[in-house]
Structure 1
Amino acid sequence: MKTFYFIAVLLLGAASAWAQAQISPSARFMLHRAMNSPSRSEAQATVLAIVDLDRNAAASADLLPGTEIVAERGTLALVRFPIDKTEELAALPQVRSISFGKEAMPLMNEARKASYVEPVLQGTGFDRTYRGEGVILGMMDSGLDPNHINFYNQDLSANRITWMATIYGTSGRLTEYKTPSEILAFSTENPQSTHATHVAGIMGGGYNRTATVATSATLTGLDTRRVPFYGVAPYAEMNLCAGDLYEENITLAAENVAQRAKAAGKPCVFNLSVGSVIGPHDGTDAYNRYMSELGKEMIICIAAGNDGNSPVSLQNDFATTPQIKTVLTRSDIAWNGVVEVWNSDATAFDISLEFVNSATGAVAWSVRIPTNKVLYISNSSDNTQGATHNTVFDKAFSSSSNVYATTETNAVNNRYMAQLQFDLTPLSGSSLVPVLTISGTAGKMNAYSQSVAGLGFGNTLTGNAPAAGYTAGNPSQSINNLAMADNIICVGAYLDRLVYPSLDGNSYGYNGYDDADVGHVAAFTSYGTSPSGRSLPDFCAPGMGVISSYSQYCAVKEEQLSARATTTENAPVGTTSRTNTWGIEAGTSMATPYVAGSVALLLEADPTLTVDKVRTLLSETSMKRTGRTDAEQAQWGAGAVNIQDAMLKLLGKPSAINGVNADTARRLSVTRYPGSVAAKVAGSSVVAARLYSVSGALAASAHTSGDEATLSTAGLSGGVYVLKVEAADGTPESRSIIIE
């Protein structure tokens, strides 16, 4: 790490407007809170920022006294400094932009079958097995229990997490855990979450010994047997980070993992099952560019996002529609989240925040968002300097409610933009709703919203009837903003199981959820298009009903658990044993580590693979899918990943599946039972089914009246088979399956 000292004397008065333009809106809002808090205690805080430096400017290596450059990539640097020095730092001639304060959100046995990982792990059709040996798996997430038995090696003698770190708050202080004893003494950084533990288990979990396991949903019950819920790369080494998910912390985590992998001389995959729809969606922001640089040294896999069925994006062409109005929607009690509006160029637009009576449509109060100045709206009881107060606001929202807003011409991409941060809790009986009115003369506008509380763009003031003059949003650009960066792989999710077994003795599932059906893309998969026309996500992997390890520190219901094992090898200090559990989760967060683990298998076979080669390999071998709608088609990307075919292609061998018949099933659903397979074509009066080996030999057949035929698989050798089905209308369909 480097510490630099600035020698020149700065005259900041004339430079303040310029300095404001260099500071990202989220950083500006955090700075405003710190500098205007009544106690001024926050002004003493230290922050970690991504700073874009002009290497050609005079004294480009010199910053302010006490400023610490933690890491550098190209023109970008991770810089730690006191927050009250932000404007002074931004005024330096060599500083082009400063970004901090923006947060991301945390967005297996059946899964391994669905995408043909099992033959690769077992070496079926290969000269050897591939299990991720010699590859480092990294990630940044929240809710990590590093001592779950799922992370130990096969003989349980050592934890495969050989290094981990935590990063809390906005200061970017990284605490390392380098030895087995240090890791064993660690519990968790977030007892309210199990997300990181689940994600890491999908990516590289390896426990395949006995436990109490809920049997298949068709044979409900409990059994003591081997845990089938291990991950994709069960022999890989893991370097994991956890903590607060600010983009600067994520960048610092990725930087550390990349440096460690480089020092060890090992290929590396970095998983990010977190993200944000907020951003310019053009790859120009500092976070995107820094991660793009890191993507040259390791394969970075990110989640597409879980907003594919939410109205989180909004588009408008000012040349044809000079003004657009939209209602901010919510799925929770409060409006809590962030909205960004971007024009396609530097042409300014006017944006006003209005508080509208939902019953009458009348505007109770309207505030215009200023340019290069922070607007802070709060309750009159708030003594923060510079706050804007109004009795309308006081009567409608709680005393802690507030809004931050600003507009600017972005210093990096020269596009005019606005950002608003909402924390609005309505009082009982309040009928006011927030509305954005955006007016412009030229340019094409894109707006984005993000919130754990379902913040979105709507056209209804009350009830379900659209209100005249209002425009609703859509999910067409709901994709994770980081997906726009170069050297990044973006992953969507599909459903590979409808029902999962639980330790409470029951079975649960997704029947009735957004037309959920096995083989269909998950409705929540975010999608979009890059400025270059690249369709995103790149492809999909299993992401609904995925069972993986749970943190023992996060309280969950028994119905969420599918396996439990008591072990001694990973017992916390001062104890003799601990309980390890496995449970269900859904999201592109689950699909992404599936691909990350799969990439580790490919890197074991060829450590020289680049991100472009990996993306091409997985795209070209993905099982092509046809969406039921245009949106579904976009969500699929190149299709469903097929790791077996990807490995065969990498090794120069013919496909084990597509050479017989690629998957074409759209109406066809397949259920595997012990000793049989059921093929169902909904609504058909007759079904004829045949099961073929990959060499083309007929293995089993069945013909029945009705919409479901059952084929016996008793006595068949384990491996990949192709199921061909013909329904009453004569349409042939097929599905590649694995018989165990």
Structure 2
Amino acid sequence: MDYSKLAPSLAIAYDQYTEGREALADHVQEDQMPGFVAPRDFAKPARVVVTLECAPDADLQDLESTAGIEINAGGDRVRTAIVQLDALPTLTQHPGVERIAPAQPVHPLMDVAPQKVGLPAFRAKTKLTGRGVIIGVVDTGIDARHPAFKGRILRIWDQHARAGTGVPEGRYGIEYKGDDLVKSKDDHGHGTHVAGIAAGSDTKYQGVAPEAEFVVVKTKMTNVGIIDGIQYVFRLAKDLGKPAVVNLSLGGHSDPHDGTDAMCKAIDEQSGPGRIVCCAAGNEAEDNIHAQLDVKPGEIQRIPCIHGPDSKGVVQDLWFNGWYAGSDQVEVAVTAPDGLTTPYQGVLPNGPKGSPYKKYQLGDWTVWVGSPGPDSRNRDHNFGVRFQAPANATGSRTWTLLVRGKKAAKQKTRVDVWALGEGRFSGPHARNSMTIGSPGTATCALTVAAYTTKTRWKDIDNNNREAIWLKQDDIAPFSSLGPRRDGKPKPDLTAPGALIVSALSRDSVKNRRWMTDQNHVAMQGTSMATPFVAGVIALLLSQEKTLTSDKAMTKIAYATRNGKKPDADTWGRGLIDLAK
């Protein structure tokens, strides 16, 4: 086994598997480790859905005939596969495979908004409607029966559907078209709302590009499913001879936050003339999920993290995702709420000789600490900590991450850490910056922050409602901030995202306070700002089929703030101003 090619969570899972299948099955949580399938029935193999980061033009044909390895079509440098854990050592030995990572969870991240940015005047002047352009919505699905989408949904790939043969990009789920489109349901409602903003055609709350067509992927909300979905949309668009824009109103923080993870690299690989991807910046600006510190050699600094139950009252596993320069070295330890502490752990050699991950028992909690050598993608160090909760865990607790400097090329080492799960950092090291995760950190993606155009609405029961937490005509307070960890700017631009009224899926359950009628609902988030931009891109693609993301950014005008250039880490280039 070459551990140097494995992502931290996959290396830990493989080590658990070698201890016994029960050890892995006990800790496979669908929402946090969605790529693993570890049935207790030993007649069925334990397997994992993975991304493969490959050498240029890598030939993997010999792997396709290897038992326990199934590689999907689509992609070049980034591919996806389903691998039995027993076959994982064989996969790591292939010279064309550089990195293997399990599926990582992501989560779904719009009237007056069009008028606020000059959309009606722009459409009236240009006569653009999005005709001849495909909008790919990779999300929770779509209500194909909603009148806002009548006759304009070309395909739905439902990745959740069972017993299907899938598509070339992923041999799972079912592809629907024609009369069968209605068989796929959006029981969450997020995807339907997003699609309505981008290209809904109803007269009351019309979308930005009301004559564009849809290709929809009801994703399992993993990076693997999303990569497969992006490749699927662009392949279909190419087959139909049409330009396409893909909307990704979702994201996560399992990545290095510098655009080098598999999902970001897949977006960069797939983007080009007539192929553009729009991504949500995220909604974590106020959540204290990021901590940053500068530590000198020999110095110890502490980062407390409050870990509580989720919205259902369940205490789940917690992960720390830490990064620092490859030229430096630090040692990390963890202190439990009762004072029990792991030893300090520095960089451990990784590769064929052994795993760079160690397991510690702190009371009834199991803590895995990983500190491998420099990451193959960006040559930086990545340390990971996984806190495995016992089955009877209740309430909140405070864990403390201890960081001790060991080697620094420039006197101090900057360390960035993100909390995955229900963890929130506290103290002087908590930061709101760098809260844009993958896929929003992709270099070629248009990453969108959210602007508040509306704070009041009337609900379906004729009650006046107000979002007192929002400030009219300003950045939404939740909109995640840049830059990337490598200092490159994100987000790219800002668009209306709070509050936005759009299509309501009849298969979803919504609080009546947010419903404006039986077919529409108000939502907020960078999820809502992103399809606004995707709709604008569809308008531009209907005029220029070979438009690229870079050229689109120069075509769009941006509003200034009090006559000054806005803060780039918050607004990107600024709020889109279609009137200009």
TM-score normalised by the chain length of structure 1: 0.67
Structure 1 residue 295, shift from structure 2 partner = 1.5
Structure 1 residue 479 displacement after superposition: 1.4
Counterpart residue identity of residue 536, structure 1? K
How far the C-alpha of 1:339 sits from its partner, in A, is 2.0
2:510 aligned residue:
556
- Quick check: 1:349 aligned with 2:319? no
Question: Are the counterparts in 1 of residues 293 and 429 from structure 2 also a CA contact under 8 Å?
Answer: no
Residues 199-258 of structure 1: CA deviation (Å, up to 9, x unaligned): 1111111122xxxxxxxxxxxxxxxxxxx2221111110001013111111000000001
Q: How does 1:466-485 map to 2 (within 5 A)?
A: 471-485=428-442
Q: Which runs of 5+ in 2 are unaligned?
A: 26-37
Which residue matches 1:175? Answer: 173
**Per the alignment, in what secondary structure is the counterpart of residue 364 of structure 1?**
coil
SS in 2 for 1:113: helix
C-alpha spacing 1:495/1:81, structure 2 compared with 1 (3 Å): same
Alignment of 1:135-534 (within 5 A): 135-142=133-140, 144-152=142-150, 158=151, 160-168=152-160, 173-188=171-186, 191=187, 193-208=188-203, 228-296=204-272, 298-319=275-296, 322-330=299-307, 332=309, 334=315, 336-357=317-338, 363-366=339-342, 368=344, 371=348, 372=350, 373=355, 389-390=361-362, 392-393=363-364, 403-409=367-373, 410-422=375-387, 424=389, 432-441=397-406, 442=408, 443-451=413-421, 453=422, 455-459=423-427, 471-511=428-468, 513=469, 516-530=470-484, 533-534=487-488
Q: SS of the residue aligned with 1:481?
A: coil
How many Å separate the matches in 2 of 1:169 and 1:184? 13
Amino acid at match of 1:482: P
Shift in alpha-carbon separation, 1:60–1:179, aligned structure 2, 3 A: closer
Classify the secondary structure of the residue corresponding to 2:382.
strand
Please say if residues 150 and 201 of structure 1, whose CA atoms lie closer than 8 Å, have aligned partners that are also in contact: yes
1:104 to 2:89 alignment: no
In 2 relative to 1, CA 393–558 (structure 1 residues): closer, same or farther, beyond 3 Å? same
Structure 1's 288 and 56: CA in aligned 2 closer, same or farther, altered over 3 A? closer
Between the aligned partners of 2:549 and 2:264, the Cα distance in structure 1 is 15
> Residue 583 in 1 paired to residue 567 in 2?
no
Alignment partner, residue 383 of structure 1: none
Whole-Å Cα distance in 2 between the matches of residues 556 and 531 of structure 1? 37
Letter in structure 2 aligned against 1:139: V
Q: 2:561 aligns with which of 614, 625, 634?
A: 625
Residues 361 and 367 in structure 2, CA contact (< 8 A), matched pair in contact too = no
Query: Tell me, which stretches of 5 or more residues in structure 1 are unaligned?
Result: 1-15, 153-157, 209-227, 358-362, 378-387, 395-401, 460-470, 565-580, 646-740
Deviation track 1:526-575 (CA, whole Å, cap 9, x = no partner) reads 111236643221111111111111222222222211022xxxxxxxxxxx
Distance 2:159 2:177 in 1: 18
1:635 is aligned to 2:566: no
**Structure 1 residues 30 and 295, CA gap change in structure 2 (3 angstroms):** farther
Contact 1:108 1:231 in 2 (8 A): no
8 Å Cα contact 2:289-2:420 kept in structure 1:
yes
Q: Max radius of gyration: which structure?
A: 1
Question: In the TM superposition, what is the alpha-carbon distance from 1:369 to its structure 2 partner?
Answer: 5.5
Q: 1:425 to 1:31 in 2, by over 3 A?
A: closer
CA RMSD of aligned residues (A): 3.0
Q: Matched residues, percent identical? A: 24
Q: Residue 34 of structure 2 aligns with which residue? A: none
Secondary structure of 1:103 counterpart: coil
- Aligned AA (2:419): S
1:234 match: secondary structure: coil
User: What's 1:47 paired with?
Assistant: 48
Of the three residues 528, 539, 548, the one matched with 1:601 is 539
Report the alpha carbon displacement of residue 643 of structure 1 after superposing the two structures with TM.
Answer: 2.7
Query: Is the alpha carbon distance of 1:427 and 1:299 closer, same or farther for their aligned partners in structure 2, counting shifts above 3 Å?
Result: same
Measure how far apart 1:422 and its partner are. Answer: 4.0
Following the alignment from structure 1 to structure 2, what is the Cα–Cα distance between the partners of residues 55 and 638? 33
Which one of the candidate residues 2, 5, 8 is aligned to 1:25? Answer: 8
> Which amino acid is the alignment partner of residue 274 of structure 1?
L
Name the residue aligned to 1:62. Answer: 62
Q: CA deviation at 1:33?
A: 5.2
Normalising to structure 2: TM-score of the pair?
A: 0.85
Deviation at residue 636 of structure 1 after TM alignment: 1.5
What SS does the aligned partner of 2:513 have? helix
Per-residue deviation, 1:260? 0.5
SS at match of 2:449: strand
Aligned AA for 1:434? W
Mapped to 1, the partners of 2:460 and 2:327 lie a distance apart of 58
- In structure 2, C-alpha distance between the alignment counterparts of 1:48 and 1:98, rounded to whole Å: 10
Residue-by-residue CA offset, 1:280-304 (whole Å, 9 max, x unaligned):
1222222221211112251100000
- Structure with the largest fraction of strand: 1
* 1:202 partner amino acid: I
CA distance in 1, matches of 2:297, 2:479: 31
Partners of 1:641 and 1:28 lie apart in 2 by: 44
**Structure 1 residues 369 and 255: alpha-carbon distance in aligned structure 2, compared to 1, 3 A threshold:** farther
| Deviation of the 1:488 alpha carbon | 0.8
CA deviation map 1:705-728 (0-9, x unaligned) = xxxxxxxxxxxxxxxxxxxxxxxx
1:133-167 deviations in Å (ceiling 9; x for gaps): 00000021125333222211xxxxx3x11101122
The superposition leaves residues 373-424 of structure 1 with CA deviations (integer Å, 9 ceiling, x where unpaired) of 37686xxxxxxxxxx545x336xxxxxxx55442212222222111234454
Q: What SS is found at the alignment partner of 1:41?
A: coil
User: By how many angstroms is 1:633 displaced?
Assistant: 6.0
Deviation string for 1:2-34 (max 9, x for gaps)? xxxxxxxxxxxxxx3xx1110111323444455
Distance, in Å, in 1 between the alignment partners of 2:71 and 2:395 is 49
1:77 Cα shift? 2.4
Change (3 A) 1:315 1:143: same
CA-CA distance at 1:265 after TM superposition:
1.0
Question: For the structure 1 residues 55 and 592, does the alpha-carbon distance in structure 2 shift closer, same or farther, using more than 3 Å as the test?
Answer: closer
Task: Show the counterpart of 1:723.
Answer: none
Give the distance between the partners of 1:175 and 1:34, measured in 2 at CA: 27
Cα separation, partners in 2 of 1:636 and 1:55, compared to 1, 3 Å: closer
* C-alpha displacement of 1:185: 2.8
Deviations 1:407-462 (A, max 9, x none): 212222222111234454797897852111122222422112233x3x22113xxx
Q: What is the CA–CA distance in structure 1 between the aligned matches of 2:562 and 2:47, rounded to whole Å?
A: 51
Instruction: Give the letter for the 2:113 counterpart.
Output: A
**Separation in 2 of the partners of 1:233 and 1:207?**
11
Q: Distance in 2 between matches of 1:419 and 1:202?
A: 38
Q: Count residues with an aligned counterpart.
A: 537
- Displacement of 1:490 in angstroms is 0.4
Report the residue type matching 1:240 in the other structure: V
Aligned to 2:32: none
Verify: 1:37 aligned to 2:21, yes or no: yes
- Aligned equivalents of 1:633 and 1:96: distance in 2? 34
Tell me the CA shift for residue 634 of structure 1.
Answer: 2.9
Deviations 1:661-685 (A, max 9, x none): xxxxxxxxxxxxxxxxxxxxxxxxx
